[in-house]
């Protein structure tokens, strides 16, 4: 199993550009989520999904969009990048979060100029 994979590893954008961060898992997990990690703020939940076709907002959803068309993939879209979105983004997945551990991807480091 590859586990949770994220692409790209690094990305630099200009203000106003859009892009999609990719996340995929091969463990047949229903639950997937996106977090951002910022110095002094810790990890904060952006969006999450409890299964294909079902998504919901987390703590900091503004400026981000998600969809879940398959069990394996959960892309995160930045609609119009802003410097405040400079961060490290982590994708996570779990079979059933109440009883099972969450597996995190290696992260995408995004810089918005």
Partner 1 sequence: KQEVTQIPAALSVPEGENLVLNCSFTDSAIYNLQWFRQDPGKGLTSLLLIQSSQREQTSGRLNASLDKSSGRSTLYIAASQPGDSATYLCAVLVNAGNMLTFGGGTRLMVKP
- For partner 1, give the closer residue by CB, 17 or 65: 65
Q: Is 61 in the site for partner 1 (CB under 8 A)?
A: no
Q: Which residues contact 69 (CB under 8 A, 6 or more apart)?
A: 52, 53
77-106: contacts with partner 1 (CB under 8 A): 90, 92, 94, 97-106
Choice from 11, 52, 58, 61 touching partner 1 (CB under 8 A): 58
Query: Residue 8 and residue 19: Cα distance in Å, rounded?
Result: 11
| In contact, 35 and 45? CB cutoff 8 Å | yes
Choice from 31, 53, 69, 81 touching partner 1 (CB under 8 A): 31
Strand, helix or coil at 16?
A: coil
- For partner 1, give the closer residue by CB, 14 or 39: 39
């Amino acid at each position: 199993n590859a586990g949770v994979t994220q692409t790209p590893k690094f990305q630099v954008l200009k203000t106003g550009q859009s892009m999609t961060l990719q996340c995929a898992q091969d463990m047949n997990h229903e639950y997937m989520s996106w977090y951002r990690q910022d110095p002094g703020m810790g990890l904060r939940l952006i969006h999450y999904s409890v299964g294909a076709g079902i998504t919901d907002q987390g703590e900091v959803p503004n400026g981000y969009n998600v969809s879940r068309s398959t069990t394996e993939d959960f892309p995160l879209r930045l609609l119009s990048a802003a410097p405040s979105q400079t961060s490290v983004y982590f994708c996570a997945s779990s079979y059933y979060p109440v009883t099972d551990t969450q597996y995190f991807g290696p992260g995408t480091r995004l810089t918005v100029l």
